[in-house]
Amino acid sequence: MPFIVRRLGFYVVAAWVAITVTFFIPRALPGNAVTSMLGSMQNLQPQALHALEVEFGSHAKGSLIHQYFVYLGNLLHGNLGTSTVYQPASVASILEQKVPWTLALVGTATVIAFVLGTLLGVLAAWRRGGWLDRSLPGFTFLQATPYFFLALLIIELFSLTWHLFPFASGFALGLTPGWNWTFISSAIDHSVLPALTIVITSMAGWMLQMRNVMITTIGEDYVLAAQAKGLSSRRVVFTYAARNAIIPNIAGFALAIGFVIAGAIVMEIVFSYPGVGLLLFNSVTSNDYPLVQGIFLVISFAVLLACLLADLVYVVADPRARRRTAY
Amino acid sequence: MAVSVPLRPIVAAAPVARRGFLRSLPLKAKIGGSILGFYVLMAIIGPTLAPYNPNTLTTGVDAASAPSIHHLLGTTAIGGQDVLSQLLVGMGSTVELGLLVGAIATILAVGVGVTAGFLGGYVDEVLSLITNVFLVLPALPLLIVLLGYFPASSGQLPVAIVLSALGWAWGARVIRAQTLTLRNRDFIAAARESGERTWRIVLFEIVPNEISLIAASFVGTVLYAILSSVALAFIGVSSFSGWSLGTMLYWAQSQNALVIGAWWWWVTPGVAAAVLGMSLVLLNFGFDEMGNPRLRDTGRRKIRGRAWRPSDPTPVVPLVNEASL
């Protein structure tokens, strides 16, 4: 089977699995749990209650297969249902509010970490055995640390000890979100520490991967040939070695972009940052299953889209991948 | 054609355990292995070493107290429980969970990876498809959703099962790739010609030759399991009835250990988890260096220096990028 067909097949199956897993999220609950949860929501409107029962499949009309197709039909119309906690707000409108927060924070931090980490990786490989290269074991410590622990350390130092930045929520209390400078500067102020946490913990991974691939690339004959031609070492490093060594890193970056939407869930919880991760956590703990389903679906599709992007990066950047037949 | 040549059974090249194998390990692997060994030891004897019962409230103590001669690592603000005792008891369950998930997920990964790579054809297509789907499922969100189903008192087993179910795919993919290259080697062909059964070839020819890759995959999975379980316990999704590094952090965070300045309460389990994680990363670096000689530290060798070695033709295994949490 040609590579492209196989990959497309993979995306179709993966998307189907994501949708089906999402469909079963509320239905996998033990039955009495659903009843008790619905019983605990006394102030529900009758039609909202009915919608929920259909959602959970407890009193739904028709077979499971029928419910499944109703669900698929709703998805095709972009209808993700209504949140039980924030009703009557629709899941889509809640996501619309929260996604920009996560995208701005985690997205920016991911880009900074990628650029910094890759550059440092090139430098470490260039000066093999230099101080940067020898301090790599220190970076492994950052990579292996539970990153919420690092977040706690950062809060302790920057917020509680030195009072440099605030650590809770996405903006100061009493402000209304809007495009004015007071609000934006407050939002930036509140995002410094979460962003710092992400950059510090994820930078090490980019750096190590880049360094290790660089070292293998530097050993290639064409790099030696470039050196033998008498090119400057800067040129050899950046346009000969790094240019080829960066391909796995770029593909990894494309994937990381997909995981941006999922947010750094634990980080958002630690900093009470109003993003998708905290929303997911809250909706799980408050049994808001329509919202859980919606978030999970959006996250899964973002990852799939990013995988597609990573595939394209490989095909565009690496001519060898175009002839590849295996995965 | 078709004249069957009687072949003498050829003993396939099995990896020979070299003398001084331990000594020949890269330094990073030695350090990582020693730290991990210490943790495993603590997991076994830790509970007997604990000076107090981790649940016992110290009478007359309400607030957290700093490290002292009676409580070497201080006490918690929950009635003055001994932090050292919690650590000694808690390390065990974290290490245990990590190793358990590592073992289950690695068995799954080897089973799927070797089967797919060795049999090929439609079996390979189907198994690779399943592997790749599991690779892209967002693990942490799914973990949080799935663990929400289990009551808080159900112990570590649900966590272990869910973590294993979501953690085998990367190993399976790497092992499959390695099996594909091994399948066409001469010694496998020889084993096949001499009439060995498929399961025998797989168990005694393929798997022993992938042992370093399997070990690396095991270590990577243990790291993933430990980091995920600590994070899940910290946010209070998984069981917090027993003591583990994650539950210690959960209680510290929920009682505002940061704000009241009880650093010993939350720094202790955090550092313990970080050092455990680092030992696993170091071990994996060691495995990488064994598989890829170019990564080995051979002292200063700058790109512009003249002390260049001719490039060696060792095939390079792509690096494992730890799934970020």
Label each residue of B183-203 as H, E or C. HCCHHHHHHHHCCCCHHHHHH
Local structure of residue B120 (DSSP, 8 states): -
Identify residue B268 by its one-letter amino acid code: T
- CA-CA distance, A63 to A71, in Å (whole number)? 12
Q: Phi and psi at residue B75, in whole multiples of 5°?
A: -130, 165
How does the average pLDDT of chain A come out, rounded? 79
In a domain, A82, yes or no: no
Local structure of residue B313 (DSSP, 8 states): -
Same domain, A277 and A166: yes
Query: Is A243:A225 a contact under the CB 8 Å cutoff?
Result: no
pLDDT digit string, tens, across residues B68-83: 766 767 777 676 677 7
Local structure of residue B320 (DSSP, 8 states): P
Q: What percent of chain B has pLDDT over 90?
A: 7
Q: Which residues contact B33 (CB under 8 A, 6 or more apart)?
A: B25, B279, B283, B286
Give the residue from A148, A234, A273, A318 with the most B CB atoms within 10 Å of its CB, the best one to mutate: A148
What mean pLDDT comes out for the span B290-301?
A: 59
Same domain, A56 and A120: no
Same domain, A145 and A251: yes
- Subunit contact B280:A144, Cβ cutoff 8 A: yes
- CA-CA distance, B157 to B151, in Å (whole number)? 12
Helical packing angle, B83-119 and B157-167, nearest 10° = 40
* Chain B: closest CA distance from residue A181 (Å): 30
In a domain, A85, yes or no: no
- Subunit contact B140:A156, Cβ cutoff 8 A: no
* Chain A: closest CA distance from residue B114 (Å): 16
pLDDT band of B8, cuts 50, 70, 90? very low
- Subunit contact A152:B258, Cβ cutoff 8 A: yes
Same domain, A293 and A233: yes
What mean pLDDT comes out for the span A1-18?
A: 80
Chain B residues in contact with A114 by the CB 8 A cut-off are none
Same domain, A45 and A166: no
Name the one residue in this structure whose structure tokens are 């003398």. B19
Same domain, A101 and A70: no
In a domain, A178, yes or no: yes
In a domain, A185, yes or no: yes
* pLDDT at res. A53: 63
Instruction: Look at chain A and report how many structural domains it folds into.
Output: 2
Q: Phi and psi at residue B319, in whole multiples of 5°?
A: -75, 145
- Subunit contact A146:B230, Cβ cutoff 8 A: yes
Cα distance from N-terminal residue to C-terminal residue, chain B: 58
Task: Please give the interface size between A and B, counted as residue pairs whose CB atoms are below 8 Å apart.
Answer: 175
- Subunit contact B281:A299, Cβ cutoff 8 A: no
Same domain, A218 and A295: yes
Chain B residues in contact with A223 by the CB 8 A cut-off are 303
How does the average pLDDT of chain B come out, rounded? 76
Identify residue A115 by its one-letter amino acid code: V
State the CB neighbour count (10 A cutoff) for residue A201: 25
In a domain, A81, yes or no: no
- CA-CA distance, A146 to A155, in Å (whole number)? 15
User: Which of A33, A49, A76 is the last residue in one of the domains?
Assistant: A76
Identify residue A131 by its one-letter amino acid code: W
- Subunit contact B303:A296, Cβ cutoff 8 A: no
Chain A residues in contact with B26 by the CB 8 A cut-off are none
- Subunit contact A25:B145, Cβ cutoff 8 A: yes
* pLDDT at res. B260: 76
Name the one residue in this structure whose structure tokens are 């693990």. B139
User: Which of A76, A99, A126 is the last residue in one of the domains?
Assistant: A76
pLDDT digit string, tens, across residues A65-92: 877 888 888 888 777 777 777 767 788 8
Chain B residues in contact with A25 by the CB 8 A cut-off are 145
Same domain, A218 and A69: no
- CA-CA distance, B71 to B79, in Å (whole number)? 13
Looking at per-residue pLDDT, the higher value among B314 and A130 belongs to A130
Given a cut of 50, is residue B32 above it in pLDDT? yes
Chain B residues in contact with A220 by the CB 8 A cut-off are 311
Check whether the bond before A88 is cis (ω within 30° of 0).
yes
Q: Which of B125, B234, B302 sits opposite A266 (nearest CB)?
A: B234
Q: Which residues contact A87 (CB under 8 A, 6 or more apart)?
A: A44, A48
Same domain, A44 and A96: no
Same domain, A64 and A188: no
* Chain A: closest CA distance from residue B167 (Å): 17
* Chain A: closest CA distance from residue B48 (Å): 27
Nearest CA in chain B to A218: B303
- Subunit contact A126:B308, Cβ cutoff 8 A: no
Three-state helix/strand/coil letters over A101-170? HHHHHHHHHHHHHHHHHHHHHHHHHHCCCCHHHHCHHHHHHHHHCCHHHHHHHHHHHHHHHCCCCCCCCC
- CA-CA distance, A142 to B227, in Å (whole number)? 12
* pLDDT at res. A324: 52
In a domain, A84, yes or no: no
- Subunit contact B325:A256, Cβ cutoff 8 A: no
* Chain B: closest CA distance from residue A262 (Å): 7
* pLDDT at res. B100: 93
Q: Supply A137's token pair.
A: 């074991």
Q: Supply B131's token pair.
A: 């592997």
Q: Supply A276's token pair.
A: 């998708």
Give the residue from B303, B306, B314, B317 with the most A CB atoms within 10 Å of its CB, the best one to mutate: B303
pTM (two decimals): 0.79
Give the residue from A29, A127, A216 with the most B CB atoms within 10 Å of its CB, the best one to mutate: A216
Given a cut of 50, is residue A126 above it in pLDDT? yes
Q: Which of B140, B173, B324 sits opposite A202 (nearest CB)?
A: B324
Angle (nearest 5°) at CA A111 between A141 and B235? 55
Same domain, A50 and A114: no
State the CB neighbour count (10 A cutoff) for residue A176: 8
pLDDT band of B316, cuts 50, 70, 90? very low
Which residues are registered as beta bridge partners of A82? A90
* Chain A: closest CA distance from residue B176 (Å): 11
Q: Could you tell me the CATH number of the domain that includes residue A184?
A: 1.10.3720.10
pLDDT band of A43, cuts 50, 70, 90? low
* pLDDT at res. B9: 42
Given a cut of 80, is residue A36 above it in pLDDT? no
Give the residue from A95, A126, A149 with the most B CB atoms within 10 Å of its CB, the best one to mutate: A149
* pLDDT at res. B101: 93
Given a cut of 90, is residue B128 above it in pLDDT? no
User: Which of A76, A102, A131 is the last residue in one of the domains?
Assistant: A76
Range of the domain at A305: 91-325
What mean pLDDT comes out for the span A138-149?
A: 79
Same domain, A215 and A72: no
**C-alpha closest to that of B140 among A296, A196, A28:** A296
* pLDDT at res. B106: 93
Name the one residue in this structure whose structure tokens are 């696993």. B280
H or E element that contains B148: none
Q: Which of A202, A221, A259 sits opposite B311 (nearest CB)?
A: A221
Given a cut of 80, is residue B283 above it in pLDDT? yes
In a domain, A69, yes or no: yes
Q: Which of A137, A141, A269 sits opposite B274 (nearest CB)?
A: A141
In a domain, A86, yes or no: no
pLDDT band of B243, cuts 50, 70, 90? confident
- CA-CA distance, A261 to B234, in Å (whole number)? 22
- Subunit contact A21:B318, Cβ cutoff 8 A: no
Chain B residues in contact with A168 by the CB 8 A cut-off are none
pLDDT band of A118, cuts 50, 70, 90? very high
Query: Is B249:B234 a contact under the CB 8 Å cutoff?
Result: yes
* pLDDT at res. A42: 56
Query: Is A242:A206 a contact under the CB 8 Å cutoff?
Result: no
Chain A residues in contact with B140 by the CB 8 A cut-off are 262, 265-266
Q: Which of B149, B231, B274 sits opposite A29 (nearest CB)?
A: B149
Nearest CA in chain B to A264: B325
